[in-house]
């Protein structure tokens, strides 16, 4: 909520994820939802007469984070796939709960990479549910700022439950892409895993035609990529980003770095699944075979991110909450996972802030600058050296006090 009077956060540390060191003894003045100035606490100068001073001693100011892979209409948990078939009204309530969770975890931006199709009561058309959430949240400063991909576009036989648009050849793919943009999607999400693991669902030419269509209309294209064969098609076709990238090799990451193709990491889902071995009775998580399979895929996925990092690929990051098993307030888990994959903690925080902003082409997302929005939160500890500090949220500047 925009406070009616100026607020001064006094004597905090400031975490700028473009480098490894905190700036200490910082005072930051907010007015009308914007950062007025950032000054040394020992030299604040004149203060506005009605200022509300918050003693932020011992805490660290962190830029509002960007969850670059999220599904705002879905709840996550061990039954995350089943929940996609819940009635639209329930999913809209889920989105409101997720909006609370995101904000309180310090997440300012959510990039929604797929929501179920549902009939829109206003005109009887079936369109992606997250588009309605975007409209609801647009005018509410307490809610996350979101960008929405519409629904998933996949080959038949891949995504269950009638959640997605199916397209089995080039013309159908192009038509699906065009429909999504007509519906108001901010960008497109292609599902580049096919019905057969060893084959991509579409040709490079088919995907390139979609990229050209989208770029011509000012929209980006991203692609779910679980396997190398689909990743290659996406990279060669010029998609703007790959989601997950669980099976990349050195060729793939070299081309991504050269082209400026982003990778959006989602490694924490493997941590989440490993936790289900303790907390559920589901055979896919509990059985020896299931545990081995998850551990194997996890190792390969970590290796992919490590390769991408070493090759200089821009890495944004997300929880995959809802479309995977994490919950909306778990982005810190993914930052921890990026550190395991070799990123320095401040670089992992950059992935969860500025890199996400760059992917969205939102200049102010994930940054704190004088004159910019007061989109920051305060934690205890130093997130530039310890990602677990991100779990210890004390207050969130943009939320009602």
| Residue 176 dihedral angles phi and psi, to the nearest 5° | -60, -40
Q: Nearest approach, Cβ of 190 to Zn ion (angstroms)? A: 12
Q: Which helix (H) or strand (E) holds 145?
A: strand 145-148
Which stretch, 4-12, 295-303, 312-320, 377-385, contacts Zn ion (CB under 5 A)?
312-320
Cβ distance to Zn ion smaller for residue 110 or 209: 110
Q: Nearest approach, Cβ of 269 to Zn ion (angstroms)? A: 9
What is the full DSSP assignment across 40-67? EGGG-----TTPEEEE-TT-EEEEPEEE
Question: Does residue 320 interact with Zn ion by CB under 5 A?
Answer: yes
CA–CA gap between residue 357 and residue 350 (Å, rounded): 10
Q: Nearest approach, Cβ of 153 to Zn ion (angstroms)? A: 13
CA–CA gap between residue 396 and residue 401 (Å, rounded): 8
8 Å CB contact between 274 and 325: no
Length of the chain: 401
| Residue 285 dihedral angles phi and psi, to the nearest 5° | -105, -30
Q: Which of 110, 122, 79, 73 minimizes the C-alpha distance to 93? A: 73
Cβ distance to Zn ion smaller for residue 70 or 314: 70
Which stretch, 26-34, 85-93, 316-324, 364-372, contacts Zn ion (CB under 5 A)?
316-324
Residue nearest to Zn ion (CB): 323
CB contact set of 351 (below 8 Å; sequence gap of 6+): 265, 315, 316, 317, 335, 338, 343
Total residues at the site for Zn ion (CB under 5 A)?
2
Cβ distance to Zn ion smaller for residue 356 or 381: 356
Cβ distance to Zn ion smaller for residue 227 or 376: 227
Q: Which residue has the tokens 């969860």?
A: 352
Cβ distance to Zn ion smaller for residue 60 or 266: 266
Q: Nearest approach, Cβ of 81 to Zn ion (angstroms)? A: 11
Question: Does residue 323 interact with Zn ion by CB under 5 A?
Answer: yes
Cβ distance to Zn ion smaller for residue 116 or 323: 323
Cβ distance to Zn ion smaller for residue 8 or 113: 113
| Cα Rg of the chain, angstroms | 21
Which stretch, 5-13, 89-97, 323-331, 380-388, contacts Zn ion (CB under 5 A)?
323-331
Q: Nearest approach, Cβ of 326 to Zn ion (angstroms)? A: 10
Q: Nearest approach, Cβ of 52 to Zn ion (angstroms)? A: 40
Residues at the site binding Zn ion, with contacts judged by CB under 5 A: 320, 323
């Amino acid at each position: 909520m925009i406070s009616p009077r100026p607020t001064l956060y006094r004597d905090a540390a400031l975490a700028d994820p473009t480098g490894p060191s905190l700036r200490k003894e910082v005072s930051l003045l907010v007015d009308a939802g914007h950062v007025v100035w950032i000054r040394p606490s020992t030299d604040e100068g004149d203060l506005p007469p009605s200022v509300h001073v918050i003693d932020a001693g011992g805490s660290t100011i962190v830029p509002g984070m960007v969850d670059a892979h999220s599904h705002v209409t879905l709840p996550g948990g061990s039954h995350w796939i089943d929940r996609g078939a819940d009635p639209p009204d329930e999913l809209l309530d889920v989105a409101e709960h997720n909006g609370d969770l995101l904000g309180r975890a310090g997440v300012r931006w959510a990039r929604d990479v797929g929501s179920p199709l549902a009939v829109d009561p206003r005109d009887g058309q079936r369109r992606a549910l997250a588009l309605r959430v975007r409209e609801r949240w647009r005018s509410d400063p307490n809610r996350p700022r979101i960008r929405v991909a519409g629904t998933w576009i996949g080959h038949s036989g891949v995504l269950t439950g009638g959640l997605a648009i199916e397209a089995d050849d080039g013309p159908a793919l192009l038509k699906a892409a065009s429909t999504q943009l007509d519906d108001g999607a901010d960008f497109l999400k292609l599902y580049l895993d096919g019905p057969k693991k060893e084959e991509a669902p579409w040709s490079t030419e088919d995907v390139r035609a979609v990229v050209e269509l989208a770029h011509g209309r000012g929209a980006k294209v991203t692609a779910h990529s679980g396997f190398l064969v689909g990743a290659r098609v996406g990279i060669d076709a010029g998609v703007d980003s790959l989601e997950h990238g669980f099976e990349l090799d050195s060729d793939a990451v070299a081309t991504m770095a050269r082209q400026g193709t982003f990778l959006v990491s989602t490694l924490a889902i493997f941590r989440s699944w490993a936790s289900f071995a303790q907390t559920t009775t589901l055979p896919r998580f509990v059985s020896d075979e299931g545990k081995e399979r998850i551990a194997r895929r996890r190792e390969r996925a970590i290796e992919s991110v490590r390769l991408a990092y070493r090759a200089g690929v821009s890495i944004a990051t997300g929880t995959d909450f809802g479309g995977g098993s994490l919950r909306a307030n778990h982005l810190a888990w993914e930052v921890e996972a990026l550190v395991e994959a070799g990123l320095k903690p401040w670089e992992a925080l950059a992935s969860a802030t500025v890199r996400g902003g760059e992917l969205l082409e939102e200049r102010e997302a994930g940054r704190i600058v004088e004159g910019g929005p007061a989109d920051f939160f305060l934690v205890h500890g130093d997130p530039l050296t310890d990602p677990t500090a991100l779990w210890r949220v004390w207050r969130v500047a943009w939320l009602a006090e």
